[in-house]
Amino acid sequence: MAVRETTVTDSCAAAKRAARSLATASTEAKNAALEAAARLLEERSDAILEANAGDLADERAAGLADALRDRLRLTPDRVAAMAEGVRIVRDLEDPVGEELERKTLASGIDLRKLRVPLGVVAVVYEARPNVTIDCAALTIKSGNAIVLRGSSYAERSNAALAGIVREALAEAGLPEDAVLSLGGGGHEELAELATQEGLVDLLIPRGGEGLKAAIKAVATVPVMYAAAGNCHVYVHAEADLEMARRIAVNAKVQRPGVCNAAETLLIDAAAAERLAPAILGDLAAAGVELVGDDRARTAAGEVEVGPVTDEDWDSEYLGLKMAVAVVDSVEDAIEHVNRHGTGHSEAIVTADEAAAEAFIAGVDAAAVYVNASTRFTDGFEYGMGAEIGNSTQKLHARGPIGMRELTTFKYVAHGSGQVRE
């Protein structure tokens, strides 16, 4: 059984022991474990879906919003996609041992800077069971152990998935405690996990501002936040209308319940009358509830746009709702984004290269797009195979958290008897 019945401290200590072994495992052994995990996901698909159906039917999931239920739900295609994702991670270059730098010092010592695992990574996440597999695959390949703490309403799904990975590790001759699931305990368990100094090397909370605040209040271990995404699409005066329509709708509608979906649309005042009716009409036709400032409501024409509140500008809706504002310039768009955004993903649609460069330089975000949807901020799309989340911090990683973001480095010095005078 993958869910530990022991204490949080005992689980983290077991993960620490496993991490020491996994850190020196060969690429071949890690790849064998990943292939076994992918195969077992395919072979056990029915059992995984049965566990997931139990979670969906449980009263703990009854009150979830539609977007969260969608994130919780597994299908045969989603299980198959998890297996494919594991194999993509398997086929990526092993980051452990990569030589980042090498030089000979004045003393004659040969100094190398090598990439090494972090050790034990703990991840706290909500709703999405596929996160269990993504996290496990990335940490196995990067030589780390992982302690998973998912939502209580996904407990059956997460336990089934973690159990499969543990079985795969054992099959490959690697310690199964390199992947441990704590289930979905209460706030006391969360606080205990966040204070495992000496055992947990990095904690990554995936969730909204509430989870972020709860972790900040108690954490004594290093934390990398994969938190909220209040993302914007800015349609510049020199935007191509058809391109702007496609990008705005995709960024909002393609999967509204994720952190890289756009929550606010900014339209340049110089072209609002030309651009707004068509773009807002497309969004409304796609079922998006629109709220906007006075100028946006005027520019919308016959499209219904409700009045916006101050809270709307700072809201991560994670659903089919979008705030709309008309701004006077690129500088005003940048100022709005930096005041209300969360540093996740921002986009400009424009044919003006100077405007694009100003937006790139001025916006403070992990990812900035020119003439493309914010929905591409994703480890899979970036060629990382998967991601543990998207960091909105600047240290020690920013943007999609993939294998290399789960490593640090050490200096290795080879001498021939040198001593320092």
The total of other beta-carbon atoms located within 10 Å of residue 189's CB is 16
Mean pLDDT (whole number) for 93-103: 97
Same structural domain for residues 94 and 123?
Answer: yes
Q: How far apart are CA 56 and CA 74, in angstroms?
A: 10
Same structural domain for residues 31 and 130?
Answer: yes
Same structural domain for residues 206 and 239?
Answer: no
Question: 236 to each of 131, 201, 266, 340, 347, how far by Cα in Å?
Answer: 36, 44, 8, 19, 10
Same structural domain for residues 134 and 269?
Answer: no
Q: How far apart are CA 181 and CA 151, in angstroms?
A: 11
Q: Give per-residue pLDDT as tens, 343-370.
A: 999 999 999 999 999 999 999 999 999 9
What CATH number is given to the structural domain containing 273? 3.40.309.10
Q: Is residue 359 part of a domain?
A: yes
pLDDT band at 227 (very low <50, low <70, confident <90, very high): low
Same structural domain for residues 49 and 144?
Answer: yes
> Percent of the chain having pLDDT more than 70?
98
Residue 34's pLDDT is what?
A: 98
Q: Is 86 exposed, middle or buried (0-12, 13-18, 19+ CB in 10 A)?
A: buried
Q: Is residue 3 part of a domain?
A: no
Q: Is residue 98 part of a domain?
A: yes
Q: Is residue 139 part of a domain?
A: yes
Same structural domain for residues 393 and 364?
Answer: no
pLDDT band at 228 (very low <50, low <70, confident <90, very high): confident
Q: Is residue 262 part of a domain?
A: yes
Residue 386's pLDDT is what?
A: 85
Same structural domain for residues 71 and 191?
Answer: yes
Same structural domain for residues 222 and 256?
Answer: no
Domain boundaries, position 144? 8-226+388-414
Mean pLDDT (whole number) for 262-267: 98
Per-residue pLDDT at 1 exceeds 50: no
Tell me the β-bridge partners of 232: 264, 346
What CATH number is given to the structural domain containing 121? 3.40.605.10
Q: Is residue 266 part of a domain?
A: yes
Per-residue pLDDT at 183 exceeds 80: no
Same structural domain for residues 127 and 160?
Answer: yes
Same structural domain for residues 243 and 366?
Answer: yes
pLDDT band at 238 (very low <50, low <70, confident <90, very high): very high
Q: Is residue 125 part of a domain?
A: yes
3-state secondary structure of 387: coil
Per-residue pLDDT at 208 exceeds 90: no
Same structural domain for residues 160 and 23?
Answer: yes
Q: Is residue 203 part of a domain?
A: yes
Tokens, residue 210: 């509430």
Q: Give per-residue pLDDT as tens, 334-345.
A: 999 999 999 999
> Percent of the chain having pLDDT more than 90?
83
pLDDT averaged over every residue in the chain: 94
Same structural domain for residues 319 and 370?
Answer: yes
Mean pLDDT (whole number) for 213-241: 93
In this predicted structure, which of 54-63, 79-88, 285-294, 305-314 has the lowest mean pLDDT? 54-63
Structure pTM?
Answer: 0.88
Q: Which amino acid is at 370?
A: V
Residue 5's pLDDT is what?
A: 59
Residue 267's pLDDT is what?
A: 98
Of residues 201 and 66, more confidently modeled: 201
Terminal-to-terminal C-alpha distance of the chain:
57
Number of domain units in the chain:
2
Residue among 15, 24, 253, 49 nearest 145 (CA): 15
